[in-house]
Amino acid sequence: MNLVQEVIDWFADADNWSGRRGVWHQLREHVRMSGVATLAACLLALPPAVWLGHKRRFGSVAVNVSNVGRAIPSFAILVIATQQFGLLEYPIVGSFTTFLALVALAVPPLVTNAYVAVAEVPDELRDAARGMGMSEGELLRRVELPVAAPLLMAGVRTAAVQVVATATIAAFVGADGLGRFIIDGRAVNDQAEIFAGALLVALLSLLTEGGLALVQSAVTPRGLREADVPTGAEAAALAVATVPPPDGRGTP
Amino acid sequence: MLASNVDRWLWWDWIGRNSDLIWSSLREHVILTVLAVGLGLLIAVPLGVAANRWRRLYTPVIAMTGVLFTIPSLAAFAFLLPYTGLTRTTALIPLVSYTLLILVRNIVAGLDAVPADIKDAADGMGFSRMRRLVRIELPLALPTIMAGVRIATVTIVGLTAVAGLLAIPSLGNLIYVGQNRPIRTAVTVGVALSVALAVVADLFLSGIQRLLTPWSRVRRERSP
């Protein structure tokens, strides 16, 4: 196919890599935008979700937030926010409306996984910790959080990968990022540029997935290493699937 | 006066005049979602059954569908445009591949949860492997499988909208049109219908699940 050669030529062209519109700049912007949004979403979502998990309260609320969240397209949030607030630019955050859309995307998987991870810590472990005289704070810090860490990190991983994949849409409101190549290429009907952009986003997503998988296994306590730790997307599906919908428990 | 109408979140005149566009976008969105989940099931059921029977297949199958799940939807649609153009196929190939991870995971989890003594009883009654699968295991796994179908459907409703950004007909295209003109009402209608569609689809599927698993209802009535 001719397109393959065109894409190779596109990557071979040094002009496409440097400058304000080059790959390096857009890659940096993409990573910065995704990183800031994921971090903000973690700060916003994890403390309450972990606390609710510790209290084992409002579980169905946490899971339902995640389910409704899936139905709202991120770029709809982006478009509505942009029409409401205009093209705001802030330091660190960058395009404010993109930031909003990405944070809204990341919160549901973080909440579901953090809640389920902490709430599912076995009762024997909690009882043993309390029996050893641990306070509630110690129980959370020294027992629940370490045991919950792998599943909690799986949520962070799912969220981060979705954010990296979705940050592409920032280009729709004129912000930078790897989406620029897809949108600009589409505007001038340059198939090679579209394809190159799509390839770069897909590669960055896979890198994020792989990198955070390493972090996930690093935060897994030694005693739990042997256990089968689900991947990010799996854990998200698992988390929702294992908390069955109201009429989900049907085995006679 | 026109400018003030364009700025309104709900402009009933526009909705009235463009009911054809709205209607066809909704219809196309529903068709794409149904086809994606349907084709996804056609692929995922054999994969899930195989991964349940031969455990060694499980890890590679999940890894492969996991990689598919990671590819950004906008990138995937853009990949395919040169080959398949502005057609349903362009939207369907990524959408179907996104359903696989969710569906296969839940199918395997559901089949794994079928108690061994029930399978032994079926064997003892002389059921063949195939008959045991169709008559015993799949029905018992149905609640978990349906949970997967519901998650997949709601996810696909959201992702189908993304296809609209590349001018493939769907509710997303309505949002895209609203962004470009710009007509706020088009955005409102696109988002509202997309969310409503997800909720209706979820309720519909949970209704089907109740019909297909009458035993779970009977049990609930007995133990309030």
User: For residue A251, what pLDDT is reported?
Assistant: 29
pLDDT score of A250: 29
> HSE of A96 in the Cβ direction (CA atoms, 13 Å)?
12
Residue A243 predicted with pLDDT over 70: no
Q: What is the pLDDT of residue A1?
A: 58
Q: What is the pLDDT of residues A161-220, one digit of tens each?
A: 889 988 988 888 888 999 999 889 888 888 889 889 988 998 998 899 889 989 988 888
Interface contact B46, partner A, CB < 8 A = no
Question: Residue B86: its pLDDT value, please?
Answer: 84
Quick one: pLDDT at residue A239? 43
DSSP class per residue in B33-61 = HHHHHHHHHHHHHHHHHHHHHSGGGHHHH
Please report the domains of chain A, with CATH numbers, ordered by start residue. 2-242 (1.10.3720.10)
Task: Give the pLDDT mean for A152-165.
Answer: 90
Q: Taking CA atoms, what residue in A is nearest to B196? A: A71
pTM of the model: 0.79
In this complex, the residue of A67, A79, A238 whose CB is nearest that of residue B154 is: A67
The model's pLDDT over A31-42, given as tens digits with 9 standing for 90+, comes to: 999 999 999 999
Confidence of residue A252 (pLDDT cuts 50, 70, 90): very low
Per-residue pLDDT of chain B (224 residues; tens, 9 = 90+): 444 556 677 788 888 888 899 999 999 999 999 999 999 999 999 999 999 999 899 889 988 888 888 777 888 888 788 788 888 999 999 999 999 988 998 999 889 889 999 999 999 999 999 999 999 999 999 988 998 898 899 889 988 888 887 778 888 888 888 877 778 888 888 888 988 998 899 889 988 988 888 877 665 554 44
ipTM of the complex: 0.70
Mean pLDDT along residues A84-100? 85
Q: Is B73 helix (H, G, I), strand (E, B) or coil?
A: helix
CA distances from B56 to A228, B31, B216 (A): 14, 36, 33
User: Of A241, A243, A247, nearest to B220 (Cα)?
Assistant: A247
> What pLDDT, on a 0 to 100 scale, did the predictor assign at position B6?
60
Domains of chain B and CATH, by start: 7-212 (1.10.3720.10)
Banded model confidence at residue A233, pLDDT cuts 50, 70, 90: very low
H or E segment and range at residue A95? strand A94-95
Least confident of A88-97, A144-153, B210-219: B210-219
> CA A193, CA A131: separation in Å to the nearest integer?
63
**pLDDT value at residue B221:** 52
CA-based torsion, B201, B139, B93, A204: positive or negative: positive
Instruction: Report which residue type is found at A113.
Output: N
pLDDT bin (cut points 50, 70, 90) of residue A130 is very high
- Residues 169 through 208 of chain B touching chain A, CB cutoff 8 Å: 172, 175, 178-179, 182, 184, 187-188, 190-191, 194-195, 198-199, 202, 206
End-to-end CA distance of chain A: 56
Residues of A in contact with B195 (CB under 8 A): 68, 71-72
- Alpha-carbon distance of B137 to A246, in angstroms, equals 22
